[in-house]
Structure 1
Amino acid sequence: MKATYIDYSETNSFSSTALSYLSRDPKLRPFIFDFPSVENFGKLIKSKTVTANREVLVKVLKRQYSVLEAESDELKAKNLVLSNIELLSQPNTYTITTGHQLNIFTGPLYFIYKIVTAINLARELKQSYPEKNFVPVYWMATEDHDFAEINHISLHGKPIVWEQDNRGATGRLPTSTIASAVKAFQNLLGISKNSEKLSTLIEEAYINHSHLADATRHLVNGLFAEHGLVIVDADNHELKKQFAGIITEDILNKNSSRIIGQTSKNLEDAGFSTQVNAREINFFYMADGLRERIIEENGVFSVLNTDIRFTEEQIKEEITLYPERFSPNVIMRPLYQEVILPNLAYIGGGAEIVYWLQLKDNFDFYKAGFPLLLLRNSALITDESFSGKLCRLHIKLKDLFKNTETLQKEWVLTHSQHTLTLASEKSEFEAIFQKIKLRAYKIDPTLAPSAEAVNARLKKALGNLEQKLVKAEKKNHEGALSQIESLRSKYFPGGGLQERSENFGIFYVKYGDQFISELIRHFKPLDFKFTILEP
């Protein structure tokens, strides 16, 4: 593949706050450690205080990777994942983390892009700081309970849905009912060597594992093990135990609600949007089949939609004995991550970066290090005919990111042999009306508004006529406009970025393992450019 890069602002697909972050807006400095660069990673390493218990982290990860641990000594020696887990016990090793929900079959393409960005950043930092180790990490959002967000994908524009009643954390979901969705996915892959390989991996993941967390680990490991990706499931007693003190303090004193509320106001006062709202208590109570919010009223802590109640002393004891039952929401999950990992960077999408901007003061309050934030790489994957079609239509690459109607109108205005705008005529009419208005005012000042009203009606009529001229001219270019619409539909399904709806499966079938290798070759985490890939 060959790559072309454009600015994120030219894609018309990212929020103004995310673009301000990419442009290093100085007004955002109070809300971050610093903007991401190789040099600033060096500064963070020097100032970093690791709170993670490395021994516990390694022990838990080895247990979660017990299947790999059972491999032969020869295979284990070649397994970069197990080597990276061992490296985490060393004080000069740091993690580069991204996280995402447990979307079936990896969900939309950007799931893959997040992980590739983490892998590439770890490699780039190793080149700059060879005396340190950098381990790419995928944090599985196993405690998330929004099943409706993860139970479907689109492949070749056709929906695949996992139908199941769900309650509780998705990582604990049994996969006993997913067979029909697996079959539908396999059928859409077609028949080839690559489709057979992916089909086998999908079946091994979802049919041979009893819970969604284990299935997802198997699938993601199958795609990224050779690149050393370590997968973390933080729904774990020993890991949560390290976070228990913060859980207790925050539930009892509601610190995060107060602090993040103020930070959010400061962000908005600085002219930026916010993404999430802190609650008084930012934890759920979790058990098998249950993940419900905790609320407090008159000193009694209740779990919504249940009969579970705690006094202050009882909830303190519950957290001490069973910290795994207390699940952080979107506000507190990042803090949990930084407490248990020796982490330097978090890689997320535009919306994630925005809500992380709301969190730094809370990190400071709990004396947890705040990572450098990176917008994940984004891409548009095209086919062999892409450049040729753009060339024949005389369309610039960045113009393809405009919505279909705008692109078609601009194309007609550019390629028409007629003048379709009435700009000069509007200026002439405006000059005439100013004379009419002045004459009317001299005769009778009360006539000036009448003149303005006539002017407004004429402007509207001219605007309508201009639209009719463009519409009529469009009929003369139906072939080209149809091709533009087809291009937009193909590469921007539903009018949005390809990466937000298409699954990686269609590209894996075409390119095999080379697909991920090509992403790794072309993605540049610290260049902050949108990538267009063409065969």
Structure 2
Amino acid sequence: MNIVQESLALNKPLSEAYLNDFSSVEQLYQYDAMAEASWRERLNWLQESEHLRIPRKQLVERLREYNRAHNPHEAVAASLDTLEKPGTVVIVGGQQSGLFSGPLLVIYKAVTIIKAAQQASQQLDHPVVPVFWIAGEDHDWDEVNHTYVLSPELSVTRVRIARETEQRLPVSLNPIASEEWEQAISELEQLLPETEFRPGLMELLRQVTEGVASLSDAFAKLMGSWFGKYGLVLLDSADPVLRELEAPVFERMIDDNDRLGAAYRAAADLCQTLGYQMQADVAEDGANLFYIHDSERLLLFKHHGRFSDRKGKVSFTADELKAELKEHPERFSNNVLTRPLMQDSLLPVLGTVLGTGEIAYWALTGSAFKAFGLRMPLLLNRESFTVIEGTLHKHMDKYNLSWNDVSNPEVFGQKREAWLAEQDGLHLDDRFEQIKQTFTELYDPLIEQLGDIQAGLIKLGTANREKIVEQMEYLRGRAKDALSKANSAGLRHFDRIEFSLFPQHKPQERVYNVFYYLNRYGSSWIDNLLGIPYDITGKHRIIYL
């Protein structure tokens, strides 16, 4: 395994500024994670602000129960024993619970959380526990119910658990039948080439899904099987018992709703003043809370002192909403802007691992943290990788393709066409253009002369010329198709490079599932990721296998 740093466009100007020019955006954030002093400053503040968070022992007691059921590793139990001790802090990061763990970036986020916690603990000489926040309260089923692998036929193929009707329940509450699990596992098995590792991987999937009713529970068991030995603590944001602990925080969000709303809007205005586009919606009347009603997760807005959804299905005064919270805390959940506040109200967060898009939208929460009596934690960029297998690397060398060539779709397409043109010993395009030009130069004067015989012959001759040229173009197309078929092996190499590294014109880590690589290299492949030195900048790196 060889690791090389290569650029990959972020397309997130605000994140780029945070990572590379913090002083230009420090009004939007709290700490510069690249400054060593920020780490000690944040740690000191956490020691002084224990009273602002949910009681540590109650939280750890629930996390023990949850992890015993889904992540029962002795290293996790040790992490929770450490977390229970006053003063212990965490590095946390979260993601939706995708099918079979979702895209590779989920694995990279977990790896980053573990490595960042290890480094922070050494740097500060202080206990730091890694925590993965499973976003089970999210309700976008179509966003998490599938995953992709590259089939042997070079097709970017989706494995999916579909629903006939739109589901707006939190993912953790959306039931999956045993036959649905088996169908999805069987589809994945058929798409993966037969290797020595495939039987064990399929057995692992059948174990983690046996008797499991939700995507989030299967996700937790799978993540635990890979990362439990590193002490990674798992938390499901839709856990109803955890929701009971969070009730006082939701009550504060209701009481301070106007102040929080104003803070989000002020941050949005500041972002725009600094020249950045907002990365999340900040509605003028948004309450930034969800309420579950009749199996539907409804986003609440505030009008004339009442909390209601856009369709008018529910409507509460603040007191009525708090009474509902007291009776049914499991019906409440955060939106993208209040989740960071809930995270810091639960956990002593030293730093949170985010993708570049998340770093951008967290800029909208800076003022809200202050309005809530909290401070935004250190924001750590998730590590980013592209995996290039040995055969793929050989193909790139054979066709003289650099990373910059492959990562630029326009350049890659030009390289492909240039290579194919080199295989054209007849110079088809030049020859056909020359023949067309010669033909029209000879034929056009004759058409004009035919008009002296009969005017209608000009129109007929013109149509005749166009048909002949059309037939020439048809022959050229057939000839080029034949050329492509004659060089299909080389073009297939180009396809493999493109589909392996930028499927659907996206970075590999945002599309493909980890099981493709585990099937090739075994489960130690994930362990090897933990051996790659941690880079706090999160700059993109290539893993040459």
Matches within 5 A, 1:32-181: 32-37=29-34, 38-48=36-46, 49-50=49-50, 51-52=52-53, 53-67=55-69, 79-130=74-125, 132-156=126-150, 157-164=156-163, 165=165, 166-176=167-177, 177-181=180-184
Q: Give the gaps of 5 or more residues in structure 2.
A: 151-155, 423-479
> Residues 288 and 301 of structure 2 are in contact (CA less than 8 Å); yes or no, is this contact kept in structure 1?
no
Tell me: CA distance 1:193–1:411, structure 2 relative to 1, closer, same or farther (3 Å).
closer
Matches within 5 A, 1:267-286: 267-279=271-283, 280-286=286-292
Inter-partner Cα distance in structure 2 for 1:237 and 1:326: 8
Inter-partner Cα distance in structure 2 for 1:269 and 1:398: 34
> Residues 173 and 211 of structure 1 are in contact (CA less than 8 Å); yes or no, is this contact kept in structure 2?
yes
Q: Counterpart in 1 of 2:392? A: 386
Inter-partner Cα distance in structure 2 for 1:386 and 1:414: 17
Select 1:406's aligned residue among 408, 411, 421: 411
Deviations 1:478-508 (A, max 9, x none): 8977754542233211221111111000111
> Residues 95 and 341 of structure 1 are in contact (CA less than 8 Å); yes or no, is this contact kept in structure 2?
yes
Q: Could you tell me how far 1:189 is from its partner in structure 2?
A: 3.5
Matches within 5 A, 1:9-20: 10-20=7-17
Tell me: CA distance 1:186–1:207, structure 2 relative to 1, closer, same or farther (3 Å).
farther
> Residues 264 and 367 of structure 2 are in contact (CA less than 8 Å); yes or no, is this contact kept in structure 1?
yes
My pick for the range that moved more, 519-528 or 167-176, is: 519-528
Q: Could you tell me how far 1:161 is from its partner in structure 2?
A: 1.0
Tell me: CA distance 1:416–1:505, structure 2 relative to 1, closer, same or farther (3 Å).
closer
Inter-partner Cα distance in structure 1 for 2:294 and 2:492: 52
Q: Could you tell me how far 1:396 is from its partner in structure 2?
A: 2.9
Inter-partner Cα distance in structure 2 for 1:224 and 1:85: 15
Q: What is the SS of the residue equivalent to 1:389?
A: helix
Matches within 5 A, 1:143-292: 143-156=137-150, 157-164=156-163, 165=165, 166-176=167-177, 177-235=180-238, 236-250=242-256, 253-279=257-283, 280-286=286-292, 289-292=295-298
Q: Could you tell me how far 1:239 is from its partner in structure 2?
A: 2.6
Inter-partner Cα distance in structure 2 for 1:108 and 1:509: 15
Inter-partner Cα distance in structure 2 for 1:520 and 1:216: 20
Q: Given the alignment of the two structures, is residue 509 of structure 1 paired with residue 515 of structure 2, yes or no?
A: no
Q: Give the gaps of 5 or more residues in structure 1.
A: 418-471
Q: What is the SS of the residue equivalent to 2:364?
A: coil
Match of 1:522, as an amino acid?
Answer: I
Inter-partner Cα distance in structure 1 for 2:108 and 2:78: 23
Inter-partner Cα distance in structure 1 for 2:396 and 2:216: 43
Inter-partner Cα distance in structure 2 for 1:269 and 1:307: 37
Q: Given the alignment of the two structures, is residue 22 of structure 1 paired with residue 23 of structure 2, yes or no?
A: no
> Residues 115 and 534 of structure 2 are in contact (CA less than 8 Å); yes or no, is this contact kept in structure 1?
yes
Q: Could you tell me how far 1:213 is from its partner in structure 2?
A: 2.6
Deviations 1:433-482 (A, max 9, x none): xxxxxxxxxxxxxxxxxxxxxxxxxxxxxxxxxxxxxxx9xx99x89777
Match of 2:135, as an amino acid?
Answer: A
Match of 1:206, as an amino acid?
Answer: T
Q: Could you tell me how far 1:246 is from its partner in structure 2?
A: 2.1
Match of 1:490, as an amino acid?
Answer: S
Inter-partner Cα distance in structure 2 for 1:191 and 1:481: 25
Aligned length: 465
Q: Could you tell me how far 1:374 is from its partner in structure 2?
A: 1.5
Q: Could you tell me how far 1:135 is from its partner in structure 2?
A: 1.1
Inter-partner Cα distance in structure 1 for 2:220 and 2:506: 29
Q: Could you tell me how far 1:118 is from its partner in structure 2?
A: 0.5
> Residues 103 and 151 of structure 1 are in contact (CA less than 8 Å); yes or no, is this contact kept in structure 2?
yes
Q: Could you tell me how far 1:297 is from its partner in structure 2?
A: 3.5
Match of 1:41, as an amino acid?
Answer: W
Q: Counterpart in 1 of 2:375? A: 369
> Residues 92 and 351 of structure 2 are in contact (CA less than 8 Å); yes or no, is this contact kept in structure 1?
yes
Tell me: CA distance 1:388–1:62, structure 2 relative to 1, closer, same or farther (3 Å).
same
Inter-partner Cα distance in structure 2 for 1:286 and 1:95: 30
Inter-partner Cα distance in structure 1 for 2:102 and 2:305: 42
Inter-partner Cα distance in structure 2 for 1:484 and 1:510: 21
Q: What is the SS of the residue equivalent to 2:280?
A: coil
Q: What is the SS of the residue equivalent to 1:358?
A: helix
RMSD between aligned residues: 2.8
Q: Could you tell me how far 1:350 is from its partner in structure 2?
A: 1.3
Q: What is the SS of the residue equivalent to 1:11?
A: coil
Inter-partner Cα distance in structure 2 for 1:313 and 1:54: 28
Q: What is the SS of the residue equivalent to 1:344?
A: strand
> Residues 109 and 382 of structure 2 are in contact (CA less than 8 Å); yes or no, is this contact kept in structure 1?
yes
Q: Could you tell me how far 1:412 is from its partner in structure 2?
A: 8.1
* Percent of paired sites with the same residue: 24
Q: TM-score, normalised by structure 2?
A: 0.79
Q: TM-score, normalised by structure 1?
A: 0.80
Q: What is the SS of the residue equivalent to 1:347?
A: strand
